[in-house]
Structure formats: C-alpha cells, structure tokens
Amino acid sequence: MKKKIFTLIIIYFCILLTQTKTFAQGCVAIRSTGGICAMNEHPDSTAADADKGYWLYNNNDRYYKSFRHFIGKQEQFQRLVLHNNVINKVFTQDETLTRVFDSRWSLSLDIPFADNSRSQLAGTERFSTHSFGLGDISATGLYWLFNPAKATKGNVQVGLGIKFATGQSDYQDYFLTATGTRVLAPVDQSIQLGDGGTGVTLNVNAYYNFTPKFGFYGNFFYLANPRDVNGTSTATTTPASPTKIAITSDVESVPDQYLIRFGASLAVHQFNFSLGMRDDGLPVRDLLGNSDGFRRPGYIIAAEPGVTYRFKNIALYAYVPIAIIRDRTQSVPDIRQTELTGIYTHGDAAFADYVVNVGITVKF
C-alpha cells in the first residue's frame, strides 16, 4: 500500500513537471516549448516494464487572457479606465509523445498548436487580429543521474533538446487604420506561432520525498536561441521610423526564455494536491548571440496550485498559475533609444491574471 502511494505521488510530480513548461502570459512572448518530458514518471527499477520500456502520451490545453498593462512592475491602470488596453486571448494545445526506454533514459517529442487573437484600438474603433496553426516542435532526450535502484527517495533528471523553427513567425492578418482602411501586415510578436529560430533547450528536474505522501519537486528550463532577428517587420499600418530602424526595433528579435519552478505535493487517496511557485521569463539579453530587434522582456512570478486524479494508467489534472509579480523589463532597443534621445524609454506589456491548464496523461 505504501509503495502504491509512493508511486502515485511520484507520478504526480512527473505529470506536473511534464505539463508546466513555459507559457506565454501576455505580450511577453514566452511561447510554449512543450510538455516535452520533464520527469515523466519515477524510474522504478523494480517495475515489470522497467527494462522493456513503455510510451507516455499527454494532451495539455492552456488558456489565458492578458489585458493588464505594466511598465516595469507598475501597472498602467489608466489603460483599463480609457479602454485602450490590448487584449490577448491565447489557446495552446500541446501533444506530447514520450518513449521511456528503461529506468533512466527517455525521449520526448512535443507538437504544439495555437489559436490566438489580439484586440486593440485604431483611433476609437476596436479590431482584432488572429493567428492559428502549428507552433515550434521540440525534441528532448532525458537521463536520470542516479541509479533508481539505489536513489529511492529522490533523483535528478537532466535533459538536452532542440527546438525547431516549425511555427510561422511572420503570420499576417488585416489591421484597421485610423482612417478605416485595412492593411495586411504581420501580427504582433505576442501571438505569432513561432519565434523563427532553432534553439537548444536544457532541462533539470528533481524531486525528494520525505514520506510516501509528501515531498518536494523542482524544475529548471532554459531555451537558448542563437539567432539574432527573424526578419519579421514590426511595422503594421505605418512604415518604421528612422529611430526604430536605428535602435533595431523595426524587426522582431529571437529571444531566449526560461522557467524556474518548485513546490510541494500531498497525496490523498487517488488525488494529489500541489502548491508551488514559478518564474517564467524572457531575458533582456540572450545567452548566445546578439540581442537586437524588438522584444518585450520580462517575467511573471506566480503561485501555482494544482490537482491530479489518477486511475489505472490515466491521469487527469488541472492547475492554475496565479500571477503575483509582473515585470516588463527595459529592452535593448529601449536602452538604445534612451541613449540616442536622452529621454528615458521603457515599453509596456500586457499580462494575464492567471492561466488555466487542463490535461490528460496516458501510459501504454
């Protein structure tokens, strides 16, 4: 019985970490890089399928609405009062297939699909632009550092992967001008399907159980995008100004992104309840390559409650990260414009209050 409960809580850790890669939470374009495998299941060396391996399928659905504008950590309340705020609605579905080869090695493939919309003003009239289709596909190989037969209470998993530029980064729709005409142009960076770059991903996942019912988990993820800019113009209804060209904000950047999360989980019969913290971010400067082009860097620190119900080889889950701190940091073009004009420049971004995640994981 204790072993069953122990396995249940570990599998929950795995499901929770598997489904909580990065998410876009507004104009800070932190795109989905999957539910790619991140501690899919406890590496139980005594299990019947430990040597022959098995498959894991996951479907994760995520939705959010961003509408609160921030410059730094300061919310721009006047945007809501004047009804001139930007409203993003994003629905993303991640389809993830993982092959667990043995108790230590696994390989995951994540295929995301997105349906996005962005509502904004043109003069006094509100209009929307949309994007729909395939996002950036990711493949990741992972390995448990410690022998599962000996490390029975905790372990650390490391993963290295590649993110392919399969999502369209120059998706276009019609924009409404102040005069009432319509112009075809690339949609805003926050609702583009992909970032236009091939990147390298690093995963570090860990857990430790104090009792069969209670334990801690942690997850670190980083996407390094060496490509500088993707060539997509940020101009919509009017051409880019000489200042924008000079500071490189006339073209979209291909930014890095990261995720840090940790928390605790408690098993109660077939349910598992968790509470954790997470930090999703898009840095001002990339780890590799230059950091030119337009981006809205920033981060979201959120409390992350969740619940999972498991029966047989199926797990159903729901969790809702709730934003606590939202910070739109100063970008490289912001810094360059400040230096060029002598006037402090700091762009804004729209953030959501929370993100809804629901999904199912099946082992076969």
Q: What is the residue-wise DSSP string for 32-63?
A: ---S--SS-S---TTSTTTTT-EEEEEEEEEE
- Reply yes or no on whether the pLDDT at 36 is more than 50: no
Would you say the pTM of this structure is higher than 0.85?
yes
270 vs 3, more confident: 270
Which helix (H) or strand (E) segment holds residue 314: the answer is strand 314-319
- Mean pLDDT, residues 149-161: 94
CATH for 214: 2.40.128.130
- Reply yes or no on whether the pLDDT at 273 is more than 80: yes
What does the pLDDT read at residue 32?
Answer: 58
- Reply yes or no on whether the pLDDT at 75 is more than 50: yes
- Mean pLDDT, residues 175-202: 95
CA gap 137, 201 in Å, rounded: 12
**329: pLDDT confidence band, cut at 50, 70 and 90?**
very high
pLDDT cut 90: percent of the chain above it? 82
Number of domains in the chain: 1
**29: pLDDT confidence band, cut at 50, 70 and 90?**
low
CA gap 223, 201 in Å, rounded: 5
- Reply yes or no on whether the pLDDT at 261 is more than 70: yes
Residue 294 β-bridge partners? 252
Backbone angles phi, psi at 345, to 5 degrees: -125, 130
| Average per-residue pLDDT for the chain | 89
Cβ neighbourhood burial of 134 (10 Å; 0-12, 13-18, 19+)? middle
**Listed residue (31, 329, 90, 38) closest to 205, CA to CA:** 38
**211: pLDDT confidence band, cut at 50, 70 and 90?**
very high
- Reply yes or no on whether the pLDDT at 177 is more than 70: yes
- Reply yes or no on whether the pLDDT at 253 is more than 50: yes
CA gap 4, 213 in Å, rounded: 10
Q: In angstroms, what CA-CA distances link 73 with 69, 250, 350?
A: 10, 25, 12
**Listed residue (117, 204, 193) closest to 155, CA to CA:** 204
Q: Which domain holds residue 322?
A: 2-363
